[in-house]
A and B are shown apart, each in its own frame.
Chain A
Amino acid sequence: MKKAAKKRAAPKTGAASGGLLSSYDTGGYWCELQGHSHHALAASAELARRLDSFSISELKKRSNAATREFMTLGVTFTVYSNRDQVDRILPFDVIPRVIPAAEWERLERGVVQRVAAMNAFLGDIYGAQKAIKDGVVPADLVFGNANYRKEMQDLPVPHGTYIHVCGTDIVRGKDGRFRVLEDNGRTPSGVSYVVENRHLMQRAFPDLVQDLPIRPVSNYGQKLAEALSQIAPAGVSDPQIVLLSPGSFNSAYFEHIFLAREMGVPLVEGRDLVVEADKVFMKTVGGMAPVHVIYRRLNDDFLDPEVFRPDSMLGVAGLMRAYRKGNIALANAVGTGVADDKAIYAYLPRLIRYYLGEEAIIDNVETHICREPEGLKFTLDRMDELVVKPVGESGGYGVVIGPRVSKRELAEARDKLTANPSNFISQPMIELSVSPTLCGRTIEPRHVDLRPFAVTGQSTWVLPGGLTRVALRKGSLIVNSSQGGGSKDTWVLG
């Protein structure tokens, strides 16, 4: 007993005399907590004060408990190796990232604007094609795009919404400015982590969360279900919504489960659905039941073997017939991949101006299109300074970070680029902002990005905050989960 008392009496490092964050060094990057200063920014001051009273051991202990809880709950993504299925959790960092209300409101408007422009663009290219005729976008970028679906031509969609769920990847550079890095307008994932991370923080860190004006995120399922109801075929008052998943081997299967659960709708696979007389039904214990709206987490290619890949075992034969007849609504619509393509991305500021008559609220990262001679020359001249990205890949695959690779790797990348320039874009290297992160037994800066989620039916709603992905390896700029990234709870405060 005496010993314990003595141990307790030893002063815990307090806020004033070197607390948890006292030896934290931003490394010269923009820090989400401190900016370029050495103390917390106004919006984060209270969080920093509370964090400072934690010991590393306590933080570590709670972090471990949180990890265990994620495993028990099965908040996992699935990785396959040697035909064995391994469930991994997306590593979770316990130090939240804060977005001040004023900054968030601008981001929110910027995201809404972008989604509006992309939807207008999709409506146009699958309709009158004015932007192409007016020379805003080169025709071959649209029609030559692997994600362009001629089946969508002249097919009206409810409220002109093609992209019902959009995940916009936003980064902050050394100058503290937000820029859009990428749009995900097909089947963006990650929103389940936003909600689960928050729930976990509330359970594991009641003392951090308590009484702070954190904007809630747990109504995402409700908002999504509302938007999906709004796009139901005409005349259907109580639509049957389902979520279409490729199945349990898909890496995002947990998210599919999560979304179906949050909305209270069946999580179906292709084999559960049938099309009869151009209408979609699901096989229930009581026979066939009509389906009106499908939130699909299956790529276009696999959706309907009659129209797209004939070898698809995951889709539903006849789905496109039902779609074209207006008997079923699909979210996201078919063919949205044209708008989130890395090549079209470069044109988005111009498309915002063209369709909305506005300037982009959030800038793009400066982008060079290698299919254009000047873009190619610019890129080849500065390969050691630029990040070169293949336009067709996702998940961070094939990205070459000029300043970080060896001469040999650079030469290989140059060969690939010259062999097929139209497959690449390049961007200056953004020194992503950092956020204090628990690494072993210290708090270190780690690079982060942000993926807010926008849900659009009749209008657009943005989930406050979004998924903050964090590159857990020291110095790494790659935040993708498939490349060893983790995530953080993201607080919009005030």
Chain B
Amino acid sequence: MARLLARFADCVFWTARYVERSISLARVLDVNQAYSQDAKGNRNWQSILTFYADEERFAELYKQLSADAVIAFYTTDPRNLASIRSCLRQARENARTIRPLISTEMWSQLNALHRKIKPLKASSVTSKTLSNFATLVKEGCQTHVGITMETFYRDEAYHFYMLGQQLERADQTTRLLDVKFAQLRAGATEMGSATDVSQWNALLRAAAGFQAYRRRHPVTAMSPQSVAHFLLLNPMFPRSLLCAVNGANDALNALRREAGLTTGARAQKRLRAFQSALMDLDIDEIMARGMDEAMDWVQRELNEIGDLVTKEFFGRS
């Protein structure tokens, strides 16, 4: 049985992460657009920069904050390595390296998606066309994931793909909550107001969780507690933090048990400890202590696990 090259595992892991990052960004932009038609338009776009800690980088590249500038920054700007265009380029570059490993279908779809996005100019995506663009990206990324599920050979490489996807998803979901709570603290909206409810609504939609939330909480009013609990700790919602962490844990277990890898012990230990700590979390306590503190802890843990994976499996530090 040929063992998976460490560099390939690294590339599979990052292909998954970059695709997940692209779709998450497309969702955030799309939803923000839908709820930014009010007077506070620019402030809403500002919050996305805060959310991704990109204010400085943005200021280097753009003179003024405007909806279209933020949209260009995050969609088509090749200078921003975190733009959707850059993420898809990197996903494609990683996939290109592992082409002997992945199915032709996985490769050609991702290659075609990249070829669609690549020629777009800064002016190609504006607030008017953002929705179409986001749909293109979302559909493209979901098609990629679907093809992966349908065609990717289930050996170590697949588990590294899942590990990357789930860790990235966990990270993106917590960032989403983080920014919303930051807005709350800043008193941008009054809790329970119509704007506030519509923003929780937007948050759920950004995580593609509105319908799922409604199935879990029919008719009740949307409270910060219930939305936060749902996005952090619902074990059945695929984009919740807990569900993603469980998924990452399954992937690590598969690598260690099924593929019989002796490496990765520290990453596994750390992830398991994190997983049990999550399950012990009390949402009211988090809310009382402050969401930002809790999310900082979550992101530190996720970073640490990511670093251990990189060190132990990929031989990078």
Contact = CB atoms under 8 A, between A and B. Distances in A.
Contacts of A401: none
A257 B4 CA distance: 16
A261 B96 CA distance: 12
Nearest to B102: A261
Q: Taking chain B's interface residues, is the majority helix, strand, or loop, or is none over half, making it mixed?
A: helix
Contacts of B100: 257, 260-261, 264-267
Contacts of B264: 285
A271 B263 contact: no
B290 interface: no
A73 B102 CA distance: 13
Q: Quick one: which of B5, B259, B262, B315 has the most chain A CB within 10 A?
A: B5
A271 B3 contact: no
Contacts of A23: none
B173 to A, nearest CB: 27
Given A283-B5, A283-B6, A74 B108 contact: yes
Interface in A283-342: 283-287, 289
Interface in A232-283: 240, 248, 257, 260-261, 264-269, 271-272, 282-283
B162 to A, nearest CB: 14
B266 to A, nearest CB: 14
Interface string B88-112: 0000010011011000100110011
B3 to A, nearest CB: 4
Nearest to A75: B108
A71 interface: yes
B161 interface: no
Contacts of B263: 285-287
A72 B112 CA distance: 5
Contact of A285 (B4, B107, B111, B112): B4
Contacts of A287: 262-263
A268 B5 contact: yes
A interface residue count range (under 10 / 10 to 19 / 20 to 34 / 35 or more)? 20 to 34
Interface residues of B, number: 31
Contact of A74 (B6, B107, B314): B107
A272 B7 CA distance: 7
A289 B96 contact: no
Nearest to B95: A74
Contact of B3 (A74, A257, A269, A286): A286
B286 interface: no
A453 B47 CA distance: 60
A240 B8 CA distance: 17
B104 A285 contact: no
A260 B112 CA distance: 22
A261 to B, nearest CB: 4
B6 A284 contact: yes
A267 B97 CA distance: 9
A266 B4 CA distance: 8
Q: Quick one: which of A240, A264, A285, A287 has the most chain B CB within 10 A?
A: A285
Contacts of B313: 285
A431 B264 CA distance: 63
B156 interface: yes
Interface of B: 2-9, 93, 96-97, 99-100, 104, 107-108, 111-112, 115, 156, 160, 255, 259-264, 313-315
**A-B residue pairs, 9 tightest by C-beta:** A284-B3, A260-B100, A261-B100, A257-B99, A289-B3, A283-B6, A285-B9, A285-B313, A286-B261
Given A73-B104, A285-B6, 6 more contacts: A74-B96, A265-B2, A267-B100, A283-B5, A285-B5, A286-B261
20 contacts: A71-B115, A72-B108, A72-B112, A73-B107, A73-B111, A74-B96, A261-B100, A265-B100, A266-B100, A268-B5, A272-B6, A272-B7, A284-B3, A285-B5, A285-B156, A285-B160, A285-B264, A285-B313, A286-B260, A286-B262
